[in-house]
Amino acid sequence: AQSVAQPEDQVNVAEGNPLTVKCTYSVSGNPYLFWYVQYPNRGLQFLLKYITGDNLVKGSYGFEAEFNKSQTSFHLKKPSALVSDSALYFCAVRERSGNTGKLIFGQGTTLQVKP
């Protein structure tokens, strides 16, 4: 069965420190991978995606993510966290085959950046 795991419910970092939000997946083949962010009482905003090519992808607001095929992981990173980065982050995968665009989401990780 396809699944996405975000092993940490919450990640706490100090402002200015690097941050990592972890994501692993179990999907047949090589999926498309996505990160979304959600601010309180809002919908999800797209951050970045991995389609093919370079394993390090860059996205919005200084975020980047590293695709690791052997570890089936797609961890979200940022070199220097801001208090405004505090939000709920979701990892999602989509199979390469088929055209329906169905996304499978992880359970979400709350990022808390303290001043």
Is residue 32 at the binding interface for other proteins, with CB under 8 A as the rule? yes
Phi and psi torsions of 16, nearest 5°? 95, -15
* Minimum CB distance to other proteins smaller for 11 or for 92: 92
Residue 7 vs 16, nearer CB to other proteins: 7
* Contact status: 106 vs other proteins (CB under 8 A): yes
One residue of 42, 61, 80, 112 binding other proteins per CB under 8 A: 42
Answer for which of 17, 46, 112, 114 binds other proteins (CB under 8 A) is: 46
Among 44, 57, 81, 93, binds other proteins (CB under 8 A): 44
Question: Which residues share a beta bridge with 50?
Answer: 33
Task: Tell me: does residue 74 bind other proteins (CB under 8 A).
Answer: no
Cα–Cα distance, 48 to 73 (Å, whole number): 15
Per DSSP (E only), the strands in the chain are 3-5, 10-14, 19-21, 24-26, 32-38, 44-50, 56-58, 64-68, 73-78, 87-94, 104-105, 109-114
Where on the chain is the footprint of other proteins (CB under 8 A)?
4, 6, 9, 32, 34, 36, 41-46, 49, 51, 90, 92, 94, 96, 99-108
